Structure 1
Amino acid sequence: MMELFAPTAFLLCAALFAFLLAINRFRLYNKLKEPNNNLCATENTCCGGINSLKCELPAGKLPTRMPTVLPSDEYAENVVPLSVNYHFTRKCNYKCGFCFHTAKTSFVLPLDDAKRGLELLKNAGMKKINFSGGEPFIVKKGAFVGELVKFCKQTLGVESVSIVSNGSLVSERWFEQYGEFLDILAVSCNSFDADTNEKIGRQQGQKSHLISLRSVRRLCADYKVAFKLNTVVNTHNKDENMVEEIMQLNPCRWKVFQCLLIDGENTGPDALRRAESFVITNAEFDEFLRRHNDVECLVPESNEKMQNSYLILDEYMRFLDCTKGAKEPSRSLLDVGVDNALNFSGFDEKMFFKRGGKNVWSKADMQLDW
């Protein structure tokens, strides 16, 4: 009896093993079919695009390019790109010594491609878009960013549409055409002293940065656009007292950043800027904050808070991962979709919320006294 049972038991075990193996193969096949599967996030020539059902490489060939940074084990798969910063140009008319997004290319996406990418982001959950550079108003004298602003607000219905600018190229004509679609205009101002601005590089010929700043402030009030200030604290302005000037300008928010080094941008052998001499200590940054403690609209951001808590898109609509101190680009979301590109963004969602990234960001909700 036992002699007959042994072969039967063996056959049953073999059949069970084959059945389990078939299930695992079926699961793997289904995984490869998923549009957002990272196994298919290679070049389109290799995978037939993000919507292909199979991921077959040509014989003897490897993917031509893969992101060099792997997704973090702590990355949350359900991250929603609530707030995105789109640096659509690297060109600028200023030469700030600590600039962390320098003119390494002159590329700007065609307007229709940029709009397509913005629509993909909106469909993925984006509620705030911030256009930055470089200098956003340098492309087609502001018409390019104007059309993007109008598209995001009027067509996509994005809650908050903002721009960060140095203010030197902003005109009343632009406000007449696009002002109603813009929620916030942030102007970078690192000093209220002309000599200090010149040392930093915030000057264009004889044109005064401070005159441009006050002109933009007036235009924002006239056209009901929320006015915001950004300041980078560095060795040249760390001892300055800006309380009186900030109070006069009365911005809705004053973002105060600590000067940050980014390899390949403002430090390292391939950098176009050398920002090492602009860097301050944490203690010096804290002292600047204490000096301006009475300014209610002040929002401080140390290097720890800033480095990984922003979703940054470059001029090719690639997310930039800054977790290792440099900017590692993802594939363009135009090629692989938002979810696949987000996997390589290095985005720290917890720090985003901790630093107050989600706030009252639509001018309709700010109840400002124009």
Structure 2
Amino acid sequence: MVSLHMGEADARPHLSELVINWHITEVCNYRCGYCYAKWNDDSKEFLHDWERTQRLLDEVFSFFSPDNSSNPLRNQISWGRVRLNLAGGEPLLYRDKVLRILSYSKSKGIDTSIITNGSRLDVDFLDQLASHVSMLGLSIDSANKEQNIEIGRTDKSGNQLGLDSIADLFDRARQVNPGIRLKINTVINAINYNEDMQELISSLAPQRWKVFRMLPVITNDLSISSSDFQKFVEKHKSLDHVMSVEGNEDMSESYIMIDPHGRFFQNRIRHQGYQYSRSIESVGAAKAFDELRLSAETYASRYRMIPIKEAI
């Protein structure tokens, strides 16, 4: 159910795009100590069955279409387009399947984006990927090799994404797709909260840097206090023009998310674990979406809401 926090219908904020985050897999080649990507389901992940993937995407795209007047979110916000954001786990462990999902979504008029740890990005694949997405996001928690090892941001061979590699990837993405938006996601935790990342972020020049406080939805490992999180934010005030800060309350009941098994799910306020809907495949997107709470006000503010009268 969508919580009713907005004002009258004519005061609805208008979003240029409604973002749906599909976590397509739990599998990852990194082992971050704070990892959120753990779902309570032993069934086969959708991305391994193309027919089921198509049906899921068709159902979700139809429900969230700007033309669907029966979507209950329309009572609180309006939107011009839909963007499907692929996340994981590490989605690029399945590169061919990711490209197929992105291509199919674009054929349906859906904008696309992806969040990756970058470990499976090379020049040849990036040339394909960058032409499919409007936004490329990289998860970067530290510029320090030892801290990355301690966090778990290495593969089983001890490899991690180097700073030179990140810069090269961003430069290449801009060359392939001059209109691409680049984003960095950083989870502030017990290991990196004292780090100064100003030089790194400035050199990479993303359009957006999302700074999250470690959310203890699955584990308390590497959790930090509100004051330690705020100290990190204050240290990086010079990057206010790109920095988007999300504390634990901001991340609760405020995303449109689908898990690898085709269920809507939410971070729950003040409770560990996720809340799940029934399967979208079995009951449809409308019924499944109605089973969870979403703060439309917080969701809209994340995507830079503007009054609807200014968008006409």
Band the TM-score falls in, shorter-chain normalisation: 0.7 to 0.9
CA distance in 2, matches of 1:345, 1:175: 36
**8 Å Cα contact 1:117-1:333 kept in structure 2:** yes
Over the aligned positions, Cα root-mean-square deviation in angstroms equals 2.5
Which of 23, 44, 60 is the matching residue for 1:121? 60
Match of 2:37, SS state, is coil
Q: 1:113 to 1:227 in 2, by over 3 A?
A: same
The residue aligned with 2:293 is 346
Q: By how many angstroms is 1:106 displaced?
A: 7.7
Amino acid at match of 2:262: M
**8 Å Cα contact 2:189-2:222 kept in structure 1:** yes
Q: 1:92 to 1:320 in 2, by over 3 A?
A: same
Amino acid at match of 1:190: D
The residue aligned with 2:149 is 198
The residue aligned with 2:130 is 179
Q: By how many angstroms is 1:319 displaced?
A: 0.5
* Higher RCO (CA < 8 A, seq sep 6+): 2
Q: By how many angstroms is 1:292 displaced?
A: 0.6
Q: By how many angstroms is 1:115 displaced?
A: 2.2
**8 Å Cα contact 2:2-2:295 kept in structure 1:** no
Which of 90, 96, 99 is the matching residue for 1:135? 90
Q: 1:233 to 1:254 in 2, by over 3 A?
A: same
Which of 139, 162, 172 is the matching residue for 1:188? 139
The residue aligned with 1:213 is 166
The residue aligned with 2:253 is 308
Which of 293, 297, 308 is the matching residue for 2:237? 293
**8 Å Cα contact 1:311-1:345 kept in structure 2:** no
Q: How many residues align?
A: 273
Amino acid at match of 1:198: I
Identity of aligned residues (%): 27
Which of 291, 295, 303 is the matching residue for 1:356? 303
Q: By how many angstroms is 1:355 displaced?
A: 2.8
Is the deviation greater in 208-217 or in 296-305?
A: 208-217
Matches within 5 A, 1:266-277: 266-267=218-219, 276-277=220-221
The residue aligned with 1:231 is 186
Q: 1:336 to 1:103 in 2, by over 3 A?
A: closer
Q: 1:163 to 1:357 in 2, by over 3 A?
A: farther
The alignment status of 1:245 with 2:214, answered yes or no, reads no
Instruction: Show CA shifts across 1:285-309 (max 9, x none).
Output: 1111111111121010111111211
Instruction: Show CA shifts across 1:150-189 (max 9, x none).
Output: 1111x1111x311011000012222333432211111000
Is the deviation greater in 200-209 or in 174-183?
A: 174-183
CA distance in 2, matches of 1:101, 1:252: 25
Q: TM-score, normalised by structure 1?
A: 0.68
CA distance in 2, matches of 1:316, 1:357: 30
Amino acid at match of 2:105: C
Gaps of 5+ in 2: 66-81, 307-312
**8 Å Cα contact 1:135-1:165 kept in structure 2:** yes
Instruction: Show CA shifts across 1:73-124 (max 9, x none).
Output: 7599x99993211011100000000001137658321122212211222222
CA distance in 2, matches of 1:317, 1:357: 28
Match of 1:278, SS state, is coil
Q: 1:215 to 1:148 in 2, by over 3 A?
A: same
Amino acid at match of 1:210: G
Instruction: Show CA shifts across 1:35-73 (max 9, x none).
Output: xxxxxxxxxxxxxxxxxxxxxxxxxxxxxxxxxxxx577
Q: 1:108 to 1:75 in 2, by over 3 A?
A: farther
Match of 1:187, SS state, is strand
The alignment status of 1:93 with 2:48, answered yes or no, reads no
Instruction: Show CA shifts across 1:324-355 (max 9, x none).
Output: 43212211112211110101232221110123
Q: TM-score, normalised by structure 2?
A: 0.80
**8 Å Cα contact 1:103-1:134 kept in structure 2:** no
Which of 64, 83, 95 is the matching residue for 2:19? 83
Q: 1:331 to 1:106 in 2, by over 3 A?
A: closer
Gaps of 5+ in 1: 1-70, 268-275, 360-370
Amino acid at match of 1:322: N
Q: 1:73 to 1:283 in 2, by over 3 A?
A: closer
Amino acid at match of 2:184: L
The residue aligned with 1:67 is none
CA distance in 1, matches of 2:3, 2:208: 35
Is the deviation greater in 282-291 or in 96-105?
A: 96-105
Is the deviation greater in 182-191 or in 346-355?
A: 346-355
CA distance in 2, matches of 1:306, 1:300: 10
CA distance in 1, matches of 2:196, 2:207: 19
The structure in which a higher percent of residues are strand is: 2
